[in-house]
């Protein structure tokens, strides 16, 4: 992120949605920055991109202070020049245009090096108030529901029967045996 980072309206982002011009909206993430000294560099943290790690240049390296910075703004990336090189293909990127693509991006589990690459394509921040509700990113989906939940009652009955039926058979066999013994 450069200090001359521009604020982009959602309606402008949505216009860049094809192979010749593709912008993506992806939320920033918490990242660890290593800085040599808080006083010298902390003011710069607000203008660093998610994933861009500042090299620890201090000697010894332990003189570096790691700082976790959470950047919550939605960042815009112009990935037009990356479409052909994207390891996941251009189609996924094109379908992720015109909306908040954060979940799609995170669901893939992109590597740290993928996140570092994003810096190359960063062009600005979205004006959050311009994002229409229907295009806002959905919160991560809840844990998957147990698919056979509605059958859990019948499952219980089956388990009981599995236990009871052998007992019944044993009981009947025992009763028959004692009955035939009496007749002798
Ligand atoms: C600026 C944005 C993006 C960059 C720089 C980027 C970069 C990369 C890189 C480097 C990889 C290789 C695997 C890795 O290192 O993680 C990758 C894989 C992939 N990416 Fe992206 N990506 C971006 C956005 C997206 C988005 C928005 C989506 C989904 C809509 C996506 C879907 C995928 C998929 C499906 C793969 C293949 C994963 C696999 O085969 O295991 N990417 N991406």
How far are the Cα atoms of 10, 23, 92 from residue 104, in angstroms, in the given order?
18, 14, 9
pLDDT value at position 154? 63
pLDDT value at position 56? 46
Which neighbouring-strand residues pair with 17?
22
pLDDT value at position 29? 56
Q: Specify the ligand 1 atom closest to the Cα of 92.
A: 30
d(CA 79, CA 159): 56
CB 37 within 8 A of CB 118: no
CA-wise closest residue to 25 among 143, 105, 141: 105
Quick check: CB of 10 below 6 Å from ligand 1? Answer: no
Which numeric CATH code is attached to 6-135? 3.10.120.10
Overall residue count recorded for the chain in this entry: 184
Look at residue 10 and give its three-state secondary structure: helix
Whose Cα sits closest to atom 5 in ligand 1? Answer: 118
Quick check: CB of 77 below 6 Å from ligand 1? Answer: yes
ipTM of the predicted structure? 0.96
Tens place of pLDDT for every residue, the chain, 184 residues? 444 568 999 999 999 999 999 999 998 754 445 444 444 444 444 444 444 444 444 455 555 555 555 555 688 999 999 999 999 999 999 999 999 999 899 899 999 889 889 989 989 888 888 988 776 655 443 333 333 334 456 667 777 888 888 899 999 998 888 888 776 6
How far are the Cα atoms of 42, 54, 98 from residue 101, in angstroms, in the given order?
29, 26, 8
- pTM value > 0.80: no
d(CA 139, CA 2): 28
Quick check: CB of 22 below 6 Å from ligand 1? Answer: no
Quick check: CB of 126 below 6 Å from ligand 1? Answer: no
For the chain, the domains span: 6-135, 156-183
pLDDT value at position 97? 95
């Amino acid at each position: 992120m450069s200090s001359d980072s521009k604020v982009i309206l959602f309606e402008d982002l949505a216009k860049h949605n094809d192979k010749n011009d593709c912008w993506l909206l992806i939320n920033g993430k918490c990242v660890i920055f290593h800085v040599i000294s808080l006083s010298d560099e902390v003011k710069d943290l607000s203008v660093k991109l998610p994933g861009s790690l500042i090299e620890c240049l201090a000697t010894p390296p332990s003189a570096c202070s790691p700082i976790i910075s959470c950047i919550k703004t939605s960042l815009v990336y112009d990935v037009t020049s990356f479409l052909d090189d994207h390891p996941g293909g251009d189609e996924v990127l094109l379908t992720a245009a015109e909306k908040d693509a954060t979940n799609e991006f995170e669901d893939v589990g992109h590597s740290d090096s993928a996140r570092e690459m994003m810096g190359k394509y960063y062009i600005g921040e979205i004006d959050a108030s311009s994002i229409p509700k229907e295009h806002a990113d959905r919160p991560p989906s809840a844990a998957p529901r147990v698919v056979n939940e509605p059958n859990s009652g019948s499952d219980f009955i089956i388990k009981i029967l599995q236990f009871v039926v052998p007992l019944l058979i044993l009981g009947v066999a025992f009763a028959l045996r004692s009955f035939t013994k009496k007749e002798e």
